[in-house]
Amino acid sequence: MDKKKNDTFVVAIEDMSDEGAGIGRQDGYIWFIKDTVIGDLVEASVMKTKKSYGFARLVKILRPSSDRIQPPCPVARQCGGCQLQAMSYEAQLKFKEHKAYNNLVRIGGFDDLVRVERDETEESRGEEKKESPRFLPIMGMDHPWRYRNKAQFPFGTDKEGNLVTGFYAGRTHTIIPQEDCLLGVEENGQVLKIIKEFMGQNRIKAYDEQRHEGLVRHVLIRKGFRTGQIMVCLVINGREIPRADRLVKGLIQVKGMTSVSISVNTEKTNVIMGTEIVNLYGPGYIEDYIGNIKYQISPLSFYQVNPEQTEKLYKTALEYAGLTGSEAVWDLYCGIGTISLFLAQKAKQVYGVEIIPQAIDDARQNAAVNGIDNVEFFVGKAEEVLPREYERGHIRADVIVVDPPRKGCDTKCLDTIVAMEPERVVYVSCDSATLARDLRYLCDRGYEVRKVRCCDMFGWGVHVETVVMLSHKKPDSVINVKVEFGEGEGKVPLDNIAKRAAAYKPKERVTYKMIKEYIEAKYGFKVHTAYIAEVKRELGLPMYDASNAEEELKQLRKHPTTEKVEAIKDALKYFGMT
Ligand code: SAH
């Protein structure tokens, strides 16, 4: 690379980074250029160069992409919160889908993924026998604006001494005045106006970070998507607000106002919320629904910021779990139990695991509020709780759902999932790169991807959620495989077959060992593998791992007693095999 700082050059934008910067290539050298869109031809000036890549600033758009739009928000560039505001919503959806698909192919090696255009949500379970995993169309938002149900506005004073609120300019603590973020609810502006007026009339100062003085630091506003209930929480550098009654009187003029509180934060810190909450008006929480599950949300509760899309995502997760009512389900990384409670409506028993104790307190509370009693929550790391409970025995897993943070699942967690052999695994992911890595791990150990579907939870931002259905490979599902070998769409290259063959290790969910242990525990006698095999054959059940047993049976030349036959039949029934 022979360019120096501030040199200008022309480049076509072909791709986009995970942070939303446009990517252009010149002789294999990669340029990251903010504020550009795939399809733009731009003039850019060099900011910083490294060996194989560099950063450049957009100077001029020479030919705009057909996907380019005028960012609807006047401060989109300064704010940086919406990396994709110059791209039409349709194009964003395509970009996100493409990103997830590419990661699955490149990192996960899932080159047999078939992209389908039609919506297959309602399809029957029988159809899932199709051999190729399918990549379904992304679930976009019907209205990609005003979807965020939570906003936190910093308060400060400008150079002229005026009270300001808005947002921090990208990576700084300078407040850009802007009271109506287009992602936030319309009431935000109304609430901020009332608070500013109140502060002005009562000479209440905004907090000054440098001097650690002044009172109002931040204002948190939350709104229930289904209920319309609104909560306002003022984060203050003190324990009380003078004339708080006047403030409450003003705020309850806003339609839906349900809770007004203060959060005490007297520390010199960047952490927004303090831990102590003092209630000024209302019950201290608002309510909202995802599906038909009710949630009580307090100022400190974690809650999904886009419940409308969350509902779509979790409905898909529930559908992929394929529950009939008899299953034991694990929900790992369960947060406040949103997915757990969703699943509990269709499962026999749900176990949730989450590392943050307060989230589990909320999860238990939410279960109680909804009268759901077939859920049990564990505080701890998924990679510690799951192996521990599995080793203790007695706990089954028919379906395991995981919704890990961006770094994905720990291998200890994945290994335990593999050992527990659930029939299905549903993976909900907020990072398709770690998703691809983890899916490959599971697919090399007895699982196969059936369906993948993205869901857009953060319109105008770069992130995308993906939900994946995996099922345990059963030997009989392999017999029916119809594949066309060779190159081309819908065909499977031969080396891929070899890879799949190597990965395919037949396993039977209910092992002979489990049957033996069950019988010994219940009836107090041991049964020979050969006898189990014989009973299974009599009942016409599949006998994948009984080849040794057959040999042994020949040597035994005996038949099991009626008592043993009955015990074996009971065990097979217990494990759901008959
Ligand atoms: N499914 C949840 C949100 C999942 S976000 C919901 O719908 O609300 C990921 C969650 O994983 C966070 O709540 C985070 O606290 C938790 N987490 C992070 N690392 C973890 C670990 N090692 N074990 C269990 N939970 C973890």
Task: Give the residue from 40, 41, 5, 11 showing the smallest Cα distance to 24.
Answer: 11
- Angle CA 112–116–122, to nearest 5: 120
Extract the tokens encoding 466: 């993906």
pTM of the predicted protein model: 0.78
> Is the distance from CB of 290 to CB of 314 less than 8 angstroms?
yes
Handedness of CA 234, 240, 242, 248 (dihedral sign): positive
pLDDT score, position 524 = 80
CA dihedral defined by 196, 200, 203, 209, rounded to 10 degrees?
40
Burial level of 347, CB count in 10 A (0-12/13-18/19+)?
A: buried
Q: For atom 12 of ligand 1, which residue has the closest CA? A: 335
Q: For atom 10 of ligand 1, which residue has the closest CA? A: 333
- Distance between CA atoms of residues 504 and 61, nearest Å: 51
403 in ligand 1 pocket by Cβ < 6 Å?
yes
What is the 333 CA–ligand 1 centroid distance (Å)? 4
Q: For atom 1 of ligand 1, which residue has the closest CA? A: 334
Provide the 8-state DSSP code for 306. Answer: -
**How many Cβ atoms are within 10 Å of 238's Cβ, its own excluded?**
16
- Distance between CA atoms of residues 84 and 460, nearest Å: 5
pLDDT score, position 119 = 67
Catalytic residues: 430
> Is the distance from CB of 391 to CB of 416 less than 8 angstroms?
no
In CATH, what is the architecture of 114-142+306-472?
A: 3-Layer(aba) Sandwich (3.40)
Please tell me the total number of residues recorded for the chain in this structure.
Answer: 578
Q: What are phi and psi of 392, to 5 degrees?
A: -65, -20
One pLDDT digit (tens) per residue for the chain, 578 residues: 788 999 999 999 999 887 789 999 998 899 999 999 999 999 999 999 999 999 999 999 999 999 999 999 998 888 878 989 999 999 999 999 999 999 999 999 999 999 987 766 545 444 555 578 999 999 999 999 999 999 999 999 998 999 999 998 877 888 989 888 999 999 999 999 999 999 999 999 999 999 999 999 999 999 999 999 999 999 999 999 999 999 999 999 999 999 999 999 999 998 999 989 999 999 999 999 999 999 999 999 889 999 999 999 999 999 999 999 999 999 999 999 999 999 999 999 999 999 999 899 999 999 999 999 999 999 999 999 999 999 987 578 999 999 999 999 999 999 999 999 999 999 999 999 999 999 999 999 999 999 999 999 999 999 999 999 999 997 644 444 444 444 454 444 444 444 444 444 333 457 788 888 888 877 788 888 888 888 887 787 766 544 455 455 445 556 778 888 888 888 888 777 77
Q: What are phi and psi of 533, to 5 degrees?
A: -60, -40
Q: For atom 21 of ligand 1, which residue has the closest CA? A: 381
- Distance between CA atoms of residues 419 and 414, nearest Å: 9
336 in ligand 1 pocket by Cβ < 6 Å?
yes
Residue ranges covered by each domain of the chain: 8-68, 114-142+306-472, 150-290, 512-574
Q: Where are the alpha helices (DSSP H) in 107-232?
A: 187-201
pLDDT score, position 475 = 60
* Helical pair 529-538 and 512-523, crossing angle rounded to 10 deg: 100
Q: For atom 23 of ligand 1, which residue has the closest CA? A: 381
What is the 142 CA–ligand 1 centroid distance (Å)? 27
- Distance between CA atoms of residues 37 and 21, nearest Å: 8
What is the 356 CA–ligand 1 centroid distance (Å)? 8
- Distance between CA atoms of residues 497 and 493, nearest Å: 7
8-68 and 114-142+306-472: identical CATH topology: no
Extract the tokens encoding 410: 């720990």
pLDDT score, position 484 = 46
Instruction: Tell me the chain's radius of gyration from C-alpha atoms.
Output: 29
Sheet holding 375-379, edge to edge: 114-115, 134-139, 447-455, 465-472, 424-429, 399-402, 328-332, 349-354, 375-379
Greatest distance between any 2 Cα atoms in the chain = 99
**DSSP string for residues in 475-544:** HHHHHT----BSSSTT-B-HHHHHHHHHH-----SS-HHHHHHHHHHHHS----HHHHHHHHHHTT---T
- Distance between CA atoms of residues 220 and 218, nearest Å: 7
Torsion-angle region of 446 (φ positive above 0: left; ψ -120 to 50: alpha; else: beta): left
> Is the distance from CB of 399 to CB of 428 less than 8 angstroms?
no
Domain 8-68: assigned CATH number:
2.40.50.140
339 in ligand 1 pocket by Cβ < 6 Å?
yes
- Distance between CA atoms of residues 413 and 332, nearest Å: 9
Distances (CA, A) of 363 to 180, 375, 451: 32, 10, 29
341 in ligand 1 pocket by Cβ < 6 Å?
no
At 447, which helix (H) or strand (E)?
strand 447-455
pLDDT score, position 508 = 44
Q: Measure CA of the first residue to CA of the last residue in the chain; give whole Å.
A: 68
Closest-lying ligand 1 atom to the alpha carbon of residue 353: 24
In CATH, what is the architecture of 150-290?
A: Beta Barrel (2.40)
Q: Please list, in sequence order, all residues whose beta carbon lies within 8 angstroms of the beta carbon of residue 459, skipping any fewer than 6 positions away.
A: 89, 92, 140, 141, 144, 145, 147, 183
> Is the distance from CB of 172 to CB of 78 less than 8 angstroms?
no
What is the 381 CA–ligand 1 centroid distance (Å)? 9
pLDDT score, position 572 = 85
pLDDT score, position 394 = 59
Q: Number of C-alpha atoms within 13 angstroms, CB side, residue 526?
A: 4
362 in ligand 1 pocket by Cβ < 6 Å?
no
